[in-house]
Amino acid sequence: MNHAKSEALMSAAKNVIPGGVNSPVRAYRTVGGTPPHIMRGDGAFVWDVDGNEYIDMVLSYGPLILGHCHTEVCQSLHHAVDTGTAFGAPTAGELGLANRITACFRSVEMVRLVNSGTEATMSALRLARAATGRDLFIKFEGCYHGHADPFLVQAGSGALTFGAPDSPGVPAATAEQTLIAPYNDLEAVQALFAEHEDRIAAVFVEPIAGNMGMVHPLPGFLEGLRAACDSAGSLLVFDEVMTGFRVSRGGYQDLTDVRPDLTTMGKVIGGGLPIGAYGGSRALMERISPAGDVYQAGTLSGNPLAVAAGDKTLEILAREGAYAKLEQAGAGLEKGLREVFESAGVPVTIPRTGSMMCVYLGADPIHRLGDVAKTNTELWVSFFRGMLEHGVILPPSPYEAWFLSTAHDANVVGRIVDAAEKSLSALV
């Protein structure tokens, strides 16, 4: 494939944008080469500035659950653009999107719209601290909750990719308020509660950890967190920025009996535009200004474009068959990839829930960050390069989840499996 135009753009971008990119993983430092500069997308496909076509397994890291340029979503956006992009005033669209979210998430009675997942998690932390009168909180190794200072301690995703889970610029006093436990290690959590007694405001957890690949909770883990929080008077916060409306209409919490006190969301609820949200019980959420005394604001929060795209996306997902189609695509791809890796004699572990999955090169079960670190990342990078050359663009890090959309039909899935077979044949 020719990448001359992408290379020229990347070279020019480095003069005015740090590293040439506006989010670190996009730089392709881990996988090598120059990132394709995408020009347009349609359905399951994207095209770069050099004219190369790719099947897209990134999907903007999860939001594009209907694929690129879905006709109805685009129509809603065009209408929103024609009527006004921002007002700094309430709109009926905000109410519509809030109603859809609260109707689907059983633990969410009220919701506040913000502009990103990072805003959602940092606001939820502020609310948890106000509600409990405590400062400390627990998070898990390899879980990423945005780039606010308190969460950049043993973070996942991009921080892991670059080997710097603790970012310079985070004050030591701030980091000291963040308590760390291994994911799926309930005993470690219980030990932290025992050590710090009544100082812990909340436990933040990705119910499926999607920022060290994709790690499922072990049986009893989330239930144990709920019990520990209840016993200590702390809040349990589910970060469903990635899993919300992705693994089911009601998020991962709809697939379990565990109900969090607060939930953070993003990605899918914006239909491809910047958005975030946090919500919970009426009693908790009425602490948020102007109803209550916990301040949080945003000039573009609930902006008409993101609300229009998100509301239409959730409306389409509510139609019969959408999640069945996503499950069919996910199951077909998982099966096909397992067969390809088995035929090539390459050990593989492929965790998946619906249209969210990951491919780890190794046979051992993946339960926490230490297990991910033991996988064959060197071979994974070679596999990534092969897939790119065969027209499939994956997230450029072994620590990122893969995503499918309703546009990934059986033909597209077959082409992904075929590309995997060709890529592996060149490596083994």
- What are 4-45's pLDDT values in tens digits? 999 999 999 999 999 999 999 899 999 999 999 999 999 999
Burial class (CB in 10 A: 0-12, 13-18, 19+), 264: buried
The mean pLDDT of 118-140, rounded to a whole number, is: 97
Query: What phi and psi, each to the nearest 5 degrees, are found at residue 7?
Result: -65, -40
Q: 195: Cβ–Cβ under 8 A, 6 or more apart, which residues?
A: none
What residue ranges define each of the domains in the chain, with the CATH number in brackets? 1-56 (3.90.1150.10), 71-317 (3.40.640.10), 323-391 (3.90.1150.10)
Q: How far apart are CA 405 and CA 414, in angstroms?
A: 15
Catalytic residue among 48, 239, 261, 311: 239
The mean pLDDT of 100-109, rounded to a whole number, is: 97
Residue 166 in this model has a pLDDT that exceeds 80: no
The mean pLDDT of 129-148, rounded to a whole number, is: 94
Q: Is residue 239 annotated as a catalytic residue, yes or no?
A: yes
The residues facing 387 across adjacent strands are none
Structure confidence at residue 158 as a pLDDT band (50, 70, 90):
very low
Residue 415 in this model has a pLDDT that exceeds 90: yes
The mean pLDDT of 388-394, rounded to a whole number, is: 98
Per-residue pLDDT of 246-265, as tens digits, reads 999 999 999 999 999 999 99
Q: pLDDT above 70 covers what percent of the chain?
A: 97
Q: 409: Cβ–Cβ under 8 A, 6 or more apart, which residues?
A: 44, 329
Residue 185 in this model has a pLDDT that exceeds 50: yes
Catalytic residue among 48, 54, 61, 267: 267
| pLDDT of the residue at 179 | 93
Q: Is residue 144 annotated as a catalytic residue, yes or no?
A: yes
Catalytic residue among 28, 54, 144, 252: 144
Q: Is residue 254 annotated as a catalytic residue, yes or no?
A: no
- Single-letter amino acid, residue 267: K
Residue 175 in this model has a pLDDT that exceeds 90: no
Q: How far apart are CA 292 and CA 197, in angstroms?
A: 28
* The model's pTM: 0.95
